[in-house]
Chain A
Amino acid sequence: MTTDALRGETLASIDAAQTPEALEAVRVAALGKSGSISQLMKGLGGLAPDERLKVAPVYQALREEVSAALEAKKTELGKAALSARLASERQDLSLPSSPLLSGTVHPISQVMDELSEIFADLGFAVAEGPEIESDWHNFTALNIPPEHPARAMHDTFYATPAEGGERMVLRTHTSPVQIRTMMAGKPPFRIIAPGRVYRSDSDATHTPMFHQVEGLVIDRGIHLGHLKWTLETFVKAFFEVDDVTLRLRPSFFPFTEPSVEVDVGCSWEGGTLKVGGTSSWLEILGSGMVHPKVIANCGLDPNEWQGFAFGCGIDRLAMLKYGMTDLRAFFDADLRWLKHFGFASLDVPTLSAGVGA
């Protein structure tokens, strides 16, 4: 057979091979030990040098061409086999994956985090105190002596005292934290104190347990103007509204003098409350300049130190910002409510990303 014929036949066999096995048979037949091309190469040794010089390159070229064709065919068959396998491995990816576990953070926790973030920027640390409080811290130190009519404003829960023990109260406000802060440290102070408080009261807008945040600034030369600025700054940051108008009204709290009740300007659009503007007013917090007697009760000189305090319902802030209407639902742990009003774990309020999730 001529080399041309051998070439044509071999390449045709390669082309015709449909499986790796068939291709291997072609390879063995051509390039195996006793393959047709291997035989040709072996025959070179018996040729005259002239003749050998003439045909060797031809045989070499043939062998290389066939090798390359085999390799190419092998790749092609491999690809086809992979494609066929993959084609047989189809899945319906519209089937559900593992259920997504997404928990929630309670709105009260979220709002407390927002408050901490905003007030940290204003230099307020977060202070805490006991919820089962002494009468002195909850009332007397705050200028509410035992027979003061203001005590009637606080529907107080009392703890049954131990034999010969003091009759403790469930704190009716976060204000005793003011006292503890002032007694424990050295002025100046800038703190907020969020926490649980208790009043013996229960209806759609009152629950016997709720949350308050207290603010306290004690320094030299602090006056009502600083209070107003702080509250405006806070309300703007918290509600993320620039157009916020606060209305300050004289009021009465035994532990502040002057005392100021604060309304925020708002509007009702289609039954929804919107903070901003002045078409309507909503009472959001009580505040005032810390009463000199309270400062003195904490062992500080009211002639040297003065400042302001404010207190605000956290649950109420959450309701205003996020649209809940029933306070009782906050403490019912209804999974549907938690999923509806709760916050994702990654909704961490920060100043750079915003404090409104």
Chain B
Amino acid sequence: MRFPLSWLKRYLDTEASATDLADAMTRLGLEVESLENPAEALKPFVIAKVLTAERHPQADKLQVLSVDTGDGKGLQVVCGAPNARAGLLGVFGSPGAYVPGLDVTLKVAAIRGVESNGMMCSARELQLGEDHEGILDLPADAPVGAGYAEWAGLNDPVFEVAITPNRQDCMGVYGIARDLAAAGLGTLKPLVVPAIAAQGESLVPVRTDDPKGCPAFFARSVAGVRNGPSPKWLQDILTRAGLRPISALVDVTNYFAIGLGRPLHVYDVAKLKGGLVARRAKPGETLLALNGKSYELDDSMTVIADDTHVHDIGGIMGGMDSGVSETTTDVLVEAAYFDPARIGATGRALGLTSDARSRFERGVDPAFVEPGLDLAVAMIVELCGGTASEILKAGEPPLAEKTVGFDPARTLALGGLDVPEAEQRAILEKLGFVVAEGAAPWAVAVPSWRRDVDGAADLVEEIVRLHGLDKVRSVALPRPDGVAAPTATPAQKLERRLKRLMAARGLDEAITWSFISEAEAAKFGGCHWKLDNPLSAELAVMRGSLLPGLVSAAGRNAARGSQSLRLFQHGRRYLAEGERPTLAVLLAGDATPRDWRFGKARAFDAFDAKAEVQAALAAAGAPVERLQTVQPASDHYHPGRSAKLVLGKAVLAEFGELHPDVLGDLDRAVAAEIFLDAIPERRQKRARPAFTPPALQPVRRDFAFLVPETVQAEALVRAVKGADKALIADAQLFDRFAGAGVPEGQLSLAVAVTLQPLDKTLTDADIEAVARAIVAAAGKLGATLRG
């Protein structure tokens, strides 16, 4: 809501300054977003009189003026305006003045060799309008030397107030005035509804056939109006409120919408055929609205139509057809009540906003339909002449009286404010509530303009905001005894651990959009959730994998010249069965840079991804030793260089080189996804088992096997380890070789085995026996000991 101070003062008798009023509004919950005084910017400009105007010696289109700026002397000013002439009264800016419309600060300057000591200004230069045909030409009574802004009545600060959806009453300046008066910033001027000297029936009959969408349709016609420009005061306040004055009839409707929160519509009777009816639109009906756009309507929408066609999207916007013009002589003034929900749905469906919609949608005062109509008709008759008809009332506005039971003790109990009962009662009454006499709980009747109030909590809010929210004192929450108890869940602890772990391992945490394009999603196994109304095709579906976001992030970084990229992301995959916590890793570029010791840079390979996966799984408490490597991973990975880590049927992670098809701008990248939801929960006892280090030295033996190349190293190591579960403490693969000396189709794999004697030193025979068991176990995989 935008309105000038002078408009507010039409309803509020107050001495308070604009700043004080703005502060009060904000304190009351009417958030002032800006307070601007157009006069401030125009302070340096004074009214001046042109004494003489001579032709500029060097330029045909310029004149050299002698200007009296109030001291009676003539100041030399060069001016290019065609209307500059001796005797003209205009607006003068002296050197040092900032001209807002030009964005320049004036200084003494020689123009074509003639010194100019300031500037005579046009309306556009002072941002007072579009006119730039010539300089401002003031009436003869303008006082020379006086400040222009003050004289022109521009010293009228303009408030821009954000009205929350609950305050339908403050969608009119009058409602704001009521709040300010209740807060002690002045006296609310009562609205005196005039008695209309009505003659005859309305020129146009009205009725409502859609009592749900339009429960009340009241109207009066006015015959014999003359529609010209509205008076200056009305044009001025409308202009300052950001509206364009159009004609008296239109300006009156805007004045009532903004001033009193009462939207009206005025029809040109000459353009109507038969009576007006509020009804549902017929599918396919269209309306060319006053904004110049055509709207196709459907039967969920309430419209006002005559015998032939629609003239108004009820409560939202009128039609071009039946709008008033300078030639209009007979009008019908409509004051209706439209159902707020219907208005909202229609407005959203049509994508159409208007001052009327924003008021009807919040709910206008149902008790102010008839008074609003009469006030408006009286104003029309006053400004445009003519004769008003009797009122026509179709339907009834929903005037359900609402009474709320209220115990004033709630103000302290809920609001934390100790306000004496008498003051509470006074506050409510000043806001228009009617509080029944007697003991608590009070019966409080809610005024018709406060549709939002329907419970005790609402009344507490009224009292708290009027008494002063700043008076609420801080009260500590009760604190349990002792040190604060831990609050994080296992999943939250895991998330924190993993993020810190990854950062410690040199990876940078990325956060990318949860939504990706459908094409990207398709490359990574598709998606379940699509958006009905995405911002763009790039952000159209919910990701089923965290990798697409990382791949495009890596592409952007590569384009910016990054040489080595280690990214991780913790977030959700959005699947049909739910949202699953996931850790994803992407490594691209150099694993190690060129180095004076090691030579060439090394690119990341699948084992770098595996290392991150294993680190993360270990930190997550997964039984890393028991996981099986199953090749390959999903289709977005390289079929030969990727794997899943599985535990039984559960896939805990996938890693490997990404498939070239999914890389976009990247050359090559390795990646991993760890499915945190698949990791079995770890149960660890707080106290560790007793520490019992073995008394005897471990014995180490190496075994080199020839295996068919299809045998997984992991399977061989596992077989070796399983050969004697009591004695073999560890087995590690330390060499892999194919080529000279190794038969075609085979590999040489070497395993270091650690034997841990338990109660006696191992004899050669003992070691021999374990070695035989190891060779036998490996033999089941087709491995033979290498000679």
Contact surface of A with B, Cβ cutoff 8 Å: 95-96, 98-99, 101-106, 108-109, 113, 116, 119-126, 128, 130-132, 146-150, 152-153, 157-160, 167-168, 170, 190, 196, 198, 200, 202, 208-209, 217, 221-230, 232-233, 247-252, 254, 257-261, 289, 291-293, 306, 330-336, 338-339, 342-346, 348
A150 to B452, CA, bound (A): 12
- What's the Cα separation between A317 and B695 when bound, in Å? 57
Q: Please tell me if B323 contacts chain A, counting CB pairs below 8 Å.
A: no
What's the Cα separation between A130 and B577 when bound, in Å?
12
Segment at the interface with A among B93-101, B438-446, B475-483, B749-757: B475-483
A-B contact pairs, 20 of them (CB 8 A): A103-B566, A105-B509, A116-B487, A149-B340, A159-B531, A159-B532, A160-B530, A200-B535, A224-B414, A224-B472, A225-B475, A254-B166, A258-B469, A261-B31, A289-B415, A289-B457, A330-B511, A333-B557, A342-B508, A345-B503
- Bound: A167/B460 CA distance, A: 36
Q: Are A228 and B474 closer than 8 Å at their CB atoms?
A: yes
B residues 508-549 with Cβ under 8 Å of A? Answer: 508-515, 529-535, 539, 542, 549
Contact B542 A126 (CB under 8 A): no
Interface string of B152-180 (1 = CB under 8 A from A): 00000000000011110000000000000
Considering the complex, give the chain B residue whose CB is closest to the CB of A106: B509
* Whole-angstrom distance between the Cβ of B485 and the nearest chain A Cβ: 7
Chain B interface, number of residues (Cβ within 8 angstroms) = 94
Contact status A223-B465, CB under 8 Å: no
Given contacts A147-B340, A345-B500, contact A225 B487 (CB under 8 A): no
Contact A113 B496 (CB under 8 A): yes
**Lowest 9 CB-CB distances: which A-B pairs, in order?**
A101-B506, A250-B29, A225-B416, A147-B341, A252-B164, A258-B461, A333-B553, A333-B510, A345-B503
- Write out the residue numbers on chain B whose beta carbons fall within 8 Å of the beta carbon of A157: 531-534
Taken together as a complex, chains A and B put the C-alpha atoms of A334 and B552 apart, in Å, by 11
The A interface, classified by DSSP as helix, strand, loop or mixed, is mixed
Closest Cβ of chain B to A156, distance in Å, is 8
Q: Which residues of A contact B572 (CB under 8 A)?
A: 131
CB–CB A121/B461 < 8 A: no
Beyond A224-B415, A224-B417, A232-B474, whether A209 also contacts B487 by CB under 8 A is: no
Q: Contact between A103 and B592 (Cβ–Cβ < 8 Å)?
A: no
Chain A residues in 8 Å Cβ range of B473: 225, 228
In the bound complex, what is the Cα–Cα distance between A108 and B348 (angstroms)? 35
Given A96-B596, A250-B29, decide whether A339 and B531 contact each other with a Cβ distance below 8 A: no
B464 adjacent to A120 (CB under 8 Å)? no
**CA gap between A128 and B581 in the complex, in Å:** 12
* Contact (Cβ within 8 A) A226 B475: yes
Q: Determine whether B412 belongs to the interface, using a CB cutoff of 8 Å to chain A.
A: yes
Interface pair A126/B469, CB less than 8 Å apart: no
Q: Is B113 an interface residue (CB 8 A)?
A: no
Is B505 in the interface zone, CB < 8 Å from A? Answer: yes
Q: Which chain B positions have C-beta within 8 A of A108?
A: 511
Contacts of B503 in A (CB 8 A): 103-105, 342-345
Q: Does B344 contact A (CB under 8 A)?
A: yes
Q: Is B484 an interface residue (CB 8 A)?
A: yes
Residues in A with CB closer than 8 Å to B470 are: 247-248
Tell me if B455 and A292 are in contact (CB < 8 A): yes
Residues A153 and B165 in contact in the complex (CB < 8 Å), given A95-B596, A224-B417, A333-B511 = yes
Question: Given contacts A200-B535, A333-B567, A334-B556, are A159 and B530 in contact (CB under 8 A)?
Answer: yes
Q: Are A130 and B578 in contact (CB under 8 A)?
A: yes
User: Which residues of chain B come closer than 8 Å to A131, judged between CB atoms?
Assistant: 514, 572, 574, 579
Q: Does B16 contact A (CB under 8 A)?
A: no
Shortest beta-carbon distance, A355 to chain B, in Å?
Answer: 14
The answer to whether B514 touches A123, judged by C-beta atoms less than 8 angstroms apart, is no
- Whole-angstrom CA separation of A16 from B470 in the bound complex: 98
Provide the bound-state CA to CA distance between A125 and B487, in Å.
5
Q: How far is the CA of A190 from the CA of B477 in the complex (A)?
A: 10
Interface check B507, CB cutoff 8 A: yes
Residue contact A132 to B513, C-beta cutoff 8 Å: no
Tell me which residues from 41 to 81 in chain B have a Cβ below 8 Å from any Cβ of chain A: none
Q: A103-B566, A120-B487 are in contact. Are A333 and B506 (CB under 8 A)?
A: no
Query: Is the C-beta of B362 less than 8 angstroms from some C-beta in chain A?
Result: yes
Contact call B532/A103, Cβ cutoff below 8 A: no
Tell yes or no: B327 within 8 A of A by CB: no
User: Besides the contacts A105-B509, A147-B341, A227-B416, what 4 more A-B pairs have beta carbons closer than 8 Å?
Assistant: A225-B474, A250-B28, A258-B415, A292-B455
Contact A126 B416 (CB under 8 A): no
Choose one: A121, A152, A289; the contact of B414 (CB below 8 Å): A289
A170 touching B531 by the CB < 8 A rule?
yes
- Given A159-B530, A221-B413, A103 and B472 contact (CB-CB distance below 8 Å): no
Q: Which of B484, B502, B507, B567 contacts A122 (CB 8 A)?
A: B484
Contact B475 A147 (CB under 8 A): no
State which residues 640-694 of B face A: CB under 8 Å. none
> How would residues 384 to 417 of chain B score, 1 for a CB under 8 Å from any chain A CB and 0 otherwise?
0000000000000000000000000000111111
By a CB distance below 8 angstroms, the chain B residues around A124 are: 487
B492 lies within 8 A of A259 (CB): no
Confirm or deny: B345 has a beta carbon within 8 angstroms of a beta carbon on chain A: yes
B499 CB-CB contact with A under 8 Å: yes
| Residue in B closest to A288 when the chains form the complex, CB atoms | B461
Chain B residue nearest in CB terms to A252: B164
A249 touches B26 (CB 8 A): yes
B412 proximity list for chain A (CB < 8 A): 223
Whether A252 and B506, one on each chain, are in contact in the complex, defined by CB atoms closer than 8 angstroms, is no
Chain A residues, CB < 8 A from B593: 99
CB–CB A250/B560 < 8 A: no
A109-B568 Cα distance, complex, nearest whole Å: 12
CB-CB under 8 A from A227, the residues of chain B are 416
A103 to B475 alpha-carbon distance, docked (Å): 42
A311 to nearest B CB, angstroms? Answer: 15
Known contacts: A223-B475, A346-B504. The answer to whether A123 contacts B511 by CB under 8 A is no
Distance A342 CA – B569 CA, assembled complex (angstroms): 13
Q: Is the CB of A248 within 8 A of B414?
A: no
Chain B residues with Cβ below 8 Å from A103 are 502-509, 566, 568
- B457 closest partner in A (C-beta): A257
CA distance A342 to B286 in the complex (A): 56
B492 and A116 contacting across the interface, CB-CB below 8 Å:
yes
Give Cα A345–Cα B496 distance, bound, in whole angstroms.
10
Q: Tell me if B85 counts as interface (CB < 8 A to partner A).
A: no
Nearest A residue to B168 by beta-carbon distance?
A: A149
Given A105-B500, A223-B414: A158 touches B474 (CB 8 Å cut-off):
no
Whether A258 touches B457, Cβ cut-off 8 Å, given contacts A122-B477, A126-B488, A335-B557, is yes
Q: Does B494 contact A (CB under 8 A)?
A: no
Contact present for B417 and A333 (CB under 8 Å): no
Which parts of B549-604 form the interface with A (CB within 8 Å)? 549-550, 553, 556-557, 560, 562, 565-568, 570, 572, 574, 578-579, 592-593, 595-596
**B458 beta carbon closer than 8 Å to chain A:** yes
Which of B465, B496, B505, B507 lies in contact with A250, CB distance below 8 A?
B465
Determine the chain A residues whose CB is within 8 A of the CB of B514 once the complex forms: 131, 170, 196, 198, 209
B105-148 at interface with A (beta carbon < 8 Å)? none
Write the chain A residue with the least CB distance to B460. A258
Within B344-374, which residues are at the interface with A (CB < 8 Å)? 344-345, 348, 361-362
Evaluate contact between B542 and A147: CB separation under 8 angstroms: no
- Tell me the bound Cα distance from A196 to B464 in angstroms: 33
- A200 CA to B539 CA, complexed, in Å: 11
Chain B positions within 8 Å of A106 at CB level: 509-511
Note all chain B residues with C-beta closer than 8 A to A102. 506
Q: B752-785 vs A: 1/0 string, CB under 8 Å?
A: 0000000000000000000000000000000000
Other-chain residue from B164, B345, B476, B592 in contact with A147 (beta carbon distance below 8 A)? B345
Considering only CB atoms, which chain B residue lies closest to A259 in the complex?
Answer: B461
- The distance in angstroms between the C-alpha atoms of A335 and B479, with both chains bound, is 43
- Please tell me if the beta carbons of B165 and A252 are within 8 angstroms of each other in the complex: yes
Bound CA–CA A93/B304 (angstroms): 89
Q: Which residues of B contact A126 (CB under 8 A)?
A: 487-489, 492
Contact with A99, one of B344, B465, B489, B592 (Cβ below 8 angstroms):
B592
